Amino acid sequence: MSDANPARDAQRNPSSAPDETLLLSLELQAQLRLRPDDARLRYEAGEQHRRGGRLQAARAEFAEAARLAPRVSAAHFQLANADYALGRFEEAVAAYERSHELDPQASTANNRGNALAQVRRIDDAIGAFEAALRLDPEFVPAYVNLGQAYTARGEFQQAMNFLMQALSRNPQHPKAQALLGDALSGLNNFESAVDCYAYAVRSNPDDVDVRTSLGVALTRLGRFKEAAEHYTLALQRRPDDPLLFNNLGEVNRARGQITESLFCFYKALELNPQLAETHSNMLLTMQYDASVSSEQLHHESLFWSQRHAAHIPRTTHTGRDRNPERKLRVGFVSADLGRHPVGRFLEPVLKHRDATGFETFCYSVGQIEDEQTAILKTAADHWITAAGLSNDALIERIRTDEIDLLIDLAGHTADHRLMVFAAKPAPVQAAWAGYSGTTGLKEIDYVIADRWTVPREEEPYFAERVVRLPNCYVCLTPPEPDVPVAPLPATASDRITFGCFNNLAKMTPAVVQLWADILRAVSGSRLFLKTKALGDPGVRENVVRMFGEQFIGADRLRLEGSAPREQLLAAYGEVDIGLDPFPFNGGLTTLEALWMGVPVVSLRGNRFVGHATESFLQNMQLGDWVAATRAEYLATAQAWAGDRARLAELRSTLRDRMRNSPLTAAEPFARSFEAALRTMWHAWCLESA
């Protein structure tokens, strides 16, 4: 081992000395020239550099002090601190270990745990924090760090226990409060999480990360205006943070501000073009904007694939059994296998599967499980909880399971795994139900639709080949609980109530204008809107303002937030006629309205999201409720509002119509779905022969 010492040589040859040496006190410089091998002087030089913010120079001096005095714990401790500050975490771990061996201290063990956490050695980090507490049971930082470590492992209750220990010793500890917010968020207790984050933000208003967490929790509670305010404040302190723009974009979309939402996503991608999730958010939001053409959507979807997925290695399937009639292993990938439209639409496919021809695998990549999840778990042959799996790990699992047909149920919605599909872990891949549009991925071979949702002339706007089911592209499992259809409310109120329970992002300015025209055309009528965002007073105020600009007063509006499922279904008992938004139609919301006896006026669109309600109505022989123009939409609503006897008769028959339509024919739907899968498999067998 060489005994060359650049720092010492520099001291002996001032002409080659780094500038940092000259920044030491004159007295220390003089002493170092006389005693360059004095460990104490080297340590003091390191301290002076550290206080001056010269970390590289400080580290060099602490390293020299540790070499000259290898049994002095403080030298190793400060060397470790310098390494940690410089991001040299593995080196910091080693130096903390040496310091701790020489002089066991709670602070040393704690710092070692922090360094271990930085290199993702969470179990070892927990051991180090526990060692700190054995040395000093009152050492608050170790309790805080244990809370953070257990949160990182997803063990939120254990994290809470340690954080409460910290707060019992120091109730005003802002980091402990913020971390308690993280643990509570992990347990979906967002109300309490908001209180913790708010306390931490009051303690340190400049902490952008905690303010961001507060915004996320407020968003989950539907308090969108407050969330937007915190993201805006965070951006004032960190104006070049693309993730803040992404979060603000999501909030703006939720409260129906599509133009502002798209601006945020564009800005985020300008700052960091590699943010695939943000790019997906932008694609989803473009679906709500009528000014965005199908050509633009198609082009941007292909660009997403090129930018984010082109580098992913593809799987070859040369050894796969190509028997076209053998039993097939079918996988479904989604974060929404629960109380969500996807979970509801998947249920009949799983429950009524042909077990002799198909074996089903559900890869659940979401965090939340509910009673609908339990139904799907029972119906599937195999259930894989995959939320904690990386893309690479999920790809390998799908390969190991030898899936023949892999179906994406997310598209560009939240928590999608399109990167998994880009690796082509199954020989045949398809998109269905979760996203009404092209994914842009050529590795997804098919999109499952019907004759109305993707007419022939719109096929060029898909990267996937279109497979059409004979009737509707989805099937509804009748809602539970069984809420009865109420009589026509206009009979008792003597006025027509129009309604829409879709998310507010679909209520574009053009929609507001047309709905206002309808309210003016139908004397005494009112509009009932019910959706999560309307639980926010600030959002309600904005909706009132939008209609006010169309000369519709607040007295003509009824605005409500979300409600438990039974109450939500019962609320349709106060709606006479449903109004479908555009260009993004209702999906499950439309089906539930029809089930509850509420017919829906719809405007035929020019892409998948604008054809969904058309498909539902056509399958119920209600094609006359589909308007070709906005003028026809208004005329349809006005005509039906003026014929209450006919409207009441239709209301009384809608549920039976749906029961007798393909929309709820679960077993025939499952057979047609499986026939489509078999057709895809046959095509692959022929192509690969």
Mean pLDDT of 590-613: 98
CB contact burial 408-421 (16+ within 10 A = b; e otherwise): bbbbbbeebbbbbb
Q: Where is average pLDDT lowest: 16-30, 130-144, 462-476, 599-613? A: 16-30
Phi-psi category of 621—alpha, beta or left, where left has phi over 0 and alpha has psi -120 to 50? left
**In this predicted structure, what is the pLDDT of residue 22?**
61
Asked if the model's pLDDT at residue 1 lies above 60, the reply is no
Asked if the model's pLDDT at residue 12 lies above 90, the reply is no
The pLDDT tens digits for 386-432 are: 998 999 999 999 999 999 999 999 999 999 999 999 999 999 999 99
In the numeric block, which tokens belong to residue 226? 């407050």
What confidence category does residue 32 fall into, taking pLDDT thresholds of 50, 70 and 90? confident
The pLDDT tens digits for 220-270 are: 999 999 999 999 999 999 999 999 999 999 999 999 999 999 999 999 999
d(CA 358, CA 334): 19
What confidence category does residue 24 fall into, taking pLDDT thresholds of 50, 70 and 90? confident
Residue 363: helix, strand or coil by DSSP? Answer: strand
Asked if the model's pLDDT at residue 659 lies above 60, the reply is yes
Q: Which residues contact 324 (CB under 8 A, 6 or more apart)?
A: 678, 681, 682, 685, 686
| Residue 52 or residue 132, greater confidence | 132
Residues in the chain: 689
Burial class for 399, CB neighbours closer than 10 Å (0-12, 13-18, 19+)? middle
Mean pLDDT of 300-306: 98
Asked if the model's pLDDT at residue 688 lies above 90, the reply is no
- Beta-sheet pairing, 428-431 with 577-579: unpaired
Mean pLDDT of 440-456: 98
d(CA 648, CA 492): 12
Phi-psi category of 321—alpha, beta or left, where left has phi over 0 and alpha has psi -120 to 50? beta
d(CA 125, CA 131): 10
Q: Which residues contact 316 (CB under 8 A, 6 or more apart)?
A: none
Q: What percent of the chain has pLDDT over 90?
A: 91
DSSP string, 179-212: HHHHHHHHTT-HHHHHHHHHHHHHH-TT-HHHHH
The pLDDT tens digits for 345-386 are: 999 999 999 999 999 999 999 988 999 999 999 999 999 999
Asked if the model's pLDDT at residue 647 lies above 80, the reply is yes
**592, 572 Cβ separation under 8 angstroms:** yes
Q: What percent of the chain has pLDDT over 70?
A: 97
The pLDDT tens digits for 598-608 are: 999 999 999 99
d(CA 179, CA 250): 24
In the numeric block, which tokens belong to residue 312? 């992913």
d(CA 6, CA 56): 13
Residue 583: helix, strand or coil by DSSP? Answer: coil
Residue 531: helix, strand or coil by DSSP? Answer: coil
**In this predicted structure, what is the pLDDT of residue 30?**
83
Closest CA to 142 of 211, 202, 153, 117: 117
Residue 407: helix, strand or coil by DSSP? Answer: strand
**203, 174 Cβ separation under 8 angstroms:** yes
What confidence category does residue 446 fall into, taking pLDDT thresholds of 50, 70 and 90? very high
Asked if the model's pLDDT at residue 593 lies above 60, the reply is yes
Mean pLDDT of 270-279: 98
Is the whole-model pTM more than 0.85?
Answer: yes
Question: How confident is the prediction for the chain on average, in pLDDT?
Answer: 94
**In this predicted structure, what is the pLDDT of residue 689?**
64
**In this predicted structure, what is the pLDDT of residue 251?**
97
